[in-house]
Amino acid sequence: MANPELLQRLITAAGPSGHETDPARVWREGCSAFANEVGADNVGSSYARVAGTGGGPMLAIVGHIDEIGLIVTYIDDDGYLYMSGIGGWDIQVLVGQRVRLRGPTGDVTGVVGKKPIHLIKQEERDRASKITDLWVDIGARTRAEAESHVGVGDSAVIDSHAADLPNGRLVSRAIDNRIGAFVVLEALHRYSLAPGAARVVAVATTQEEIAYHGGGALVSAFGVQPRAAIVVDVTFATDHPGMEKKELGDHKLGGGPVLCRGSIISPVLLGIIRASAQRAGIAYSMHAVGRDTSTDADAIHIAREGIATAVVAVPNRYMHSPNEMVSLDDLDRAAELLAESCRAITAATDFTARD
């Protein structure tokens, strides 16, 4: 996988939805060596452009850069912090975790506290924890001491570290979807080395994990004004126990990217991506989406007068946990597939066909 140092920096940086400044800065720095233009918009999304050889339409390749996280809602008199979720949490994974809070003077370490199992009544032991049952202990003795380090509205992430496992597996928090932002950056770099006719802009969007209103993707769709967009996100790997392939499809780590086909997906753009994969010998699997995709594509495809949109996904085990897992080979193949698909788009490409 090209540029592993940049990938490591991206997934190490803390950036919950609405607090993406650190990973966004890393992403823009990574683009600055090869892009014609690099910048950011008012909601924090970043973009990088490659002009192409001219005559082709504007194409956006999009990966959201935010992650799920926590936000401080209250500090009590004894210095304990109470939190709410940013994005979709399984609260059980928070119990006993170490967290990294972004305070006004720097990072602050805390631990998620809960009453010890010995002191929980037998009839309550099987009850799932609620976030209101938990607190964060930063070692402070008073509210004033705690408030000298953190305040209401400060964000936090799980303080876990990336690890390389056998067979090219990467484990980390923030895989969803820091790796999507990395893939579009890497794809733009590869495209810049041998550009086609299309003008291509890579976008690292913000606020996808809370994007009931469209998030940074909707703003970017108006700002960038692409004719077409390929969204890169993660999808559920179904090669581990408990997954139902009849519902989700057959998607393996190391099996290549997953191409979505369904109601909001442009058949023209999907056809270009599939043909590009076949020409390049890139293995892929298919995923049916009968309604929305739960990605940035849902906001992008109905923006402006309508944008031809496709989704390329990376299989991900243990999504929304401190230890998500992907295959580095899948990241490489996804980046190569995007670069090849961008080169296949010309001035003659007609995105209006729907059959």
Residues with catalytic roles: 208
Phi-psi region of 242 (alpha: psi -120 to 50; beta: other; left: phi over 0): left
Total length of the chain: 355
Residue 303 token pair: 């923006």
Distance CA 86, CA 71 (A): 7
CA 226: distance to chain centroid? 20
For the packed helices 4-12 and 175-193, what is the interaxial angle rounded to 10 degrees?
150
Residue 206 token pair: 């913000």
Distance CA 71, CA 101 (A): 9
Amino acid at position 21, single letter:
T
Instruction: Spell out a b/e string for 143-168, using b for 16 or more CB atoms within 10 Å of the CB, else e.
Output: eeebbebbeeebbbbbbbebeeeeeb
Any residues with CB less than 8 A from the CB of 174 and at least 6 apart, and which? 11, 15, 23, 67, 157, 324
Angstrom CA distances, 65 to 200, 214, 286, stand at: 18, 15, 24
Amino acid at position 253, single letter:
L
